[in-house]
Structure 1
Amino acid sequence: MLPVKQFQDFVAKHQLFAQGNKILLAVSGGKDSVLMLHLFKAIGVNIGVAHCNFNLRGDEAQRDELFVKMLAANFDLPFYITHFDTKKYAAENKISTQMAARDLRYNWFEEIRLAEGFDYVALAHHQNDGVETVLINLTRGTGISGLHGILPKRNHLIRPLLFLNRHEIDEIIHQMNFDFVEDSSNLSANYIRNKIRLKVIPHLQEINPHLEKTFAENAARFADIEMLLNFHVQALAEKILNPRSDGIYIALDEISKLNPQKLLLFELLKPYGFTESVIEQMLNHLHSSSGTHFFSSSHQAIINRAYLVIAAKNSNEIANQFIHPSTTHVLFGADTLKLSFSTVIEFESNPKKAFVNADKLIFPLILRHWQNGDKFAPLGMRQLKKVSDFFIDEKVPLHLKTTTPILVNGNGDIIWVAGMRQDNRYKLTAATKKVAIFELKNL
């Protein structure tokens, strides 16, 4: 018998979708997705069918595509099909074929969902898939999110078959005499998931015949624990993460108070891409001297006096920008430098502007990043001073030291530490006849 009541109860319990929602079903043609299609059809939901041909199994893949197309036609349902060059994508992105197929299909499902007005994408994962996912995560190393495995609902993805295991699905398909196609790659032990399915899980089922049910219950517990942790981390982030214009500041004293320290700091910094090993390095060097850096793929963390500062990675790859008399503005990283001239000899006290004696300029000027050994004469001083010492005196955060634009004259003199202080040698005097006005603006 088709388990319509259990299906409806599971959907209601996890609030997978609402009456009137439009659902896109990912249908491969196998038993799981075929059963899912029949269940959705039985409860009268507005659905469409999507099928991916990964071009990995030759004629068998063509057979699957034709089968799903005919199945959708028999139910008079909208049908969406795409073909992927999966091996090429995997090679270009240096990932496994399975990971490539996963990326390709999820990206395409989201494209179809948005383009065709579907509210959710339904995937036919069941309890055994959940067991396999948890075991894979444990083998590779995982956090709490890996322990709960596959969730019934995440954003626009729903998995309404997680109330069934593989044996139950097989029984239903047999009883209902539903047609389906078999993916021969499921019998191959070349893939990690298949190795666990074929060689590991049978031994675990000897110990616990109700393995799938036990894992499902455990997954629910871990999902609740993750929810509790996320709630605590969110409250903690609001308390100790202090956003400023130049980054996120966290007092080192606050980090020292965290308990458990490594777990909470990892969760706090997870949005910035720091790995667990980098978090461990941070904690080991928490009381190191200022300037110690740590990196993720997108951000840097710097110990700056009494703070750990999180900021986007420096844009040090930006090339030097040349400025000519005809130049009106220059883009430099996240900033724009504007240049104009005036015969009105006026000075405005604004660190974002520099008013320079135009007659002393030797073009082209250069806009670049700070370099070791840079010196200038800060306005009001006659002696040269290292820019690095100037940064220290001005308490400039270390991560801004290498991103502050430096305006350089054609003779090599620094004209302006942009946004901070111009050079005394280029100030306006009673003899000045023309003013070059430089203005720094954030994009």
Structure 2
Amino acid sequence: MEKDRFLNEIETFISNEKLIDKRKLYISALSGGADSVALLLSLKELGVNIEAAHCNFKLRDDESDRDEQFCIELCKKNGIKIHIIHFDTIEYAKLHKISIEMAARDLRYNYFEQLRHDIGAEGICIGHHREDSVETLLLNLIRGTGINGLTGIAPKNGYILRPMLSVSRKDIENFLNRQQQNFVTDSTNLVDDATRNKIRLNLMPIIRSINPSADKDIANTALRLREAEKIFNESLKASEKEIVTTNSKHITSINKQKLFNTASPEYTLFYILKNFNFTPSTIEEIHNRLRFAQCGKTYLSKSHRLLIDRESIIIEPQTNFSECNRTYKIPETGVYKLNDKITLRLEIKKYKDKKDISILPNIATIDADKVVFPLILRTPQQGDWFTPFGMKGKKSVSDFLTDKKLTLFEKERQPLIEDANGNIIWLIGLRTDNRYRIKEDTKKLLYISHEDSQN
């Protein structure tokens, strides 16, 4: 591939993928290796407005300082501004209990994003090439993946741009040779230890012995899969819109019947639940329970909890439960702003006639003389019971809520009020206790209003 063909290939790829607007500023990640050097020089030759960014991870003693000095001199020679940062990568890895490789990646991309904000850059260009994308595909395949993992490295991921995915490592080296441009070599890339290096140094030579053009052919397959993925995702989005609803409290409901009417219930479920941080193995278990019509099971992700209910799958943020699972003491009548969503108002009035009795679900009207303060607002506990209005015998709160067809999550969140005697006087929004009902000899009414801004 001749010099102009190399640059034309990159320029065509940039145009096809709509990666760069030459009127704006971009960061070019520069390690000093062949890929990043070729990226820097190519973008410069193509007239892209760039500034370089180099990270010194302090992992290879003199080599790290050598690389830094090389990058400084390269940018000075080409009239390109360079930004340099030093990291204590080992200490960061220990602090966050992650691998050195993951620590370096986190530090690198976090710095690039901060720098992008600081200098007003439009994007961050990274020197990944065709073989990198092929290695990623194979790595995902070995670990197990869906269609997304078989598309290789994406040309654009947020502000991260990869203009060289259409060229090979050999193309890059030939370009640098024609430019008479040297580069530095990271000795760790030649050591057969990390999984990716095993693929690069051991597996790929075997694959190329079977098909010398395997890199290009696999990359073209990934490209076709990427196009197929667009159609695939559009179909999944349409299915999600049809079967998923979310209310003002961020509670999501998946209609089970509609889910099973989709072409692939399991993959549709995976597509939906991955956005709530559920792992593939957990999603598989959830799907298996759905197949056997098993209800009542709950699951937790790091951010949400899920319930398999009778006709739907319920998902809600874990904060929903923690916010409502608090106890509030109400010492006397008045207005209580319990949080930014809930207000409780209590007022005593003289009882005149039945017109004074509220029929609104969020207002309870009870005999004030039978209530003993302080009141407690809380959620149900095991063993709770009350006498529902209109009934003579007592009933467990759990059975009453089940009869009302509340889900397990709704039952856990259901607010109630009890008085100082430990008697439940109101299941808020549902039923007052019959022992506190208004009678002919009632003299004073206690109005309790429960206002929830999310309802």
Residue 122 of structure 2: aligned partner: 119
Residue 258 of structure 2 corresponds to residue 254 of structure 1: yes
Q: Distance in 1 between matches of 2:87 and 2:365?
A: 59
Residue 12 of structure 2 corresponds to residue 9 of structure 1: yes
Residue 310 of structure 2 corresponds to residue 300 of structure 1: no
Residue 427 of structure 2 corresponds to residue 417 of structure 1: yes
Q: Which moved more, 1:108-117 or 1:226-235?
A: 108-117
Residue 275 of structure 2 corresponds to residue 264 of structure 1: no
> Aligned pair in 2 of structure 1 residues 100, 355: CA closer, same or farther (>3 Å)?
farther
Residue 158 of structure 1: aligned partner: 161
Q: Which moved more, 1:349-358 or 1:261-270?
A: 349-358
> Aligned pair in 2 of structure 1 residues 84, 435: CA closer, same or farther (>3 Å)?
farther
Which SS does the other structure have where 2:52 is aligned? strand
Residue 337 of structure 2: aligned partner: 329
Q: Distance in 2 between matches of 1:322 and 1:85?
A: 50
**Could you state the TM-score of these two structures normalised by the residue count of structure 2?**
0.87
Which SS does the other structure have where 2:139 is aligned? helix
Q: Distance in 2 between matches of 1:415 and 1:119?
A: 60
Residue 406 of structure 1: aligned partner: 416
> Aligned pair in 2 of structure 1 residues 75, 329: CA closer, same or farther (>3 Å)?
same
Q: Which moved more, 1:203-212 or 1:224-233?
A: 203-212
Q: Distance in 1 between matches of 2:312 and 2:275?
A: 19
CA contact (8 A) 1:369 1:404 kept: yes
Cα deviation, residue 224, structure 1: 1.3
Residue 314 of structure 2 corresponds to residue 309 of structure 1: yes
Identical aligned pairs, as a percentage? 37
Cα deviation, residue 59, structure 1: 3.0
CA contact (8 A) 1:278 1:295 kept: no
Q: Distance in 2 between matches of 1:249 and 1:165?
A: 47
Question: Structure 1: 5+ residue runs without aligned partners?
Answer: none
Q: Distance in 2 between matches of 1:117 and 1:323?
A: 53
CA contact (8 A) 2:373 2:419 kept: yes
> Aligned pair in 2 of structure 1 residues 186, 432: CA closer, same or farther (>3 Å)?
farther
> Aligned pair in 2 of structure 1 residues 402, 48: CA closer, same or farther (>3 Å)?
same
CA contact (8 A) 2:10 2:167 kept: no
Which SS does the other structure have where 2:128 is aligned? coil
Q: Distance in 2 between matches of 1:432 and 1:100?
A: 71
Residue 380 of structure 2: aligned partner: 370
Cα deviation, residue 268, structure 1: 3.2
Residue 183 of structure 2: aligned partner: 180
Q: Distance in 1 between matches of 2:258 and 2:173?
A: 54
What letter corresponds to residue 253 of structure 2 in structure 1?
Answer: Y
What letter corresponds to residue 180 of structure 1 in structure 2?
Answer: F
Cα deviation, residue 150, structure 1: 0.3
Cα deviation, residue 8, structure 1: 1.1
Residue 72 of structure 2 corresponds to residue 69 of structure 1: yes
Cα deviation, residue 222, structure 1: 1.3
> Aligned pair in 2 of structure 1 residues 62, 372: CA closer, same or farther (>3 Å)?
same
Residue 402 of structure 2: aligned partner: 392
- 1:59-110 deviation per Cα after TM superposition (whole angstroms, max 9, x unaligned): 3223323332343344443433333333333334333221222223222222
Cα deviation, residue 316, structure 1: 4.7
Q: Which runs of 4+ in 1 moved over 6 A?
A: none
Q: Distance in 1 between matches of 2:227 and 2:315?
A: 29
What letter corresponds to residue 321 of structure 2 in structure 1?
Answer: S
Q: Which moved more, 1:212-221 or 1:65-74?
A: 65-74
Q: Distance in 2 between matches of 1:352 and 1:214?
A: 66
Cα deviation, residue 358, structure 1: 5.4
CA RMSD of aligned residues (A): 2.7
Residue 440 of structure 1: aligned partner: 451
Residue 320 of structure 1: aligned partner: 327
- 1:144-180 deviation per Cα after TM superposition (whole angstroms, max 9, x unaligned): 1111110112222210011211122122222212242
- 1:412-431 deviation per Cα after TM superposition (whole angstroms, max 9, x unaligned): 22233234333344456664
Task: Describe how 1:91-106 pairs up with structure 2 within 5 A.
Answer: 91-106=94-109
CA contact (8 A) 1:125 1:161 kept: yes
Which SS does the other structure have where 2:18 is aligned? coil
> Aligned pair in 2 of structure 1 residues 84, 441: CA closer, same or farther (>3 Å)?
farther
- 1:24-81 deviation per Cα after TM superposition (whole angstroms, max 9, x unaligned): 1111121111111111111222222222222322332233233323433444434333
CA contact (8 A) 2:152 2:219 kept: no
* Pick aligned residue for 2:344 from 338, 344, 347: 338
Residue 281 of structure 2 corresponds to residue 277 of structure 1: yes
Corresponding pairs, count: 441
Q: Distance in 2 between matches of 1:380 and 1:53?
A: 75
Q: Distance in 2 between matches of 1:281 and 1:401?
A: 24
Cα deviation, residue 436, structure 1: 5.5
Q: Distance in 2 between matches of 1:82 and 1:383?
A: 74
> Aligned pair in 2 of structure 1 residues 417, 64: CA closer, same or farther (>3 Å)?
farther
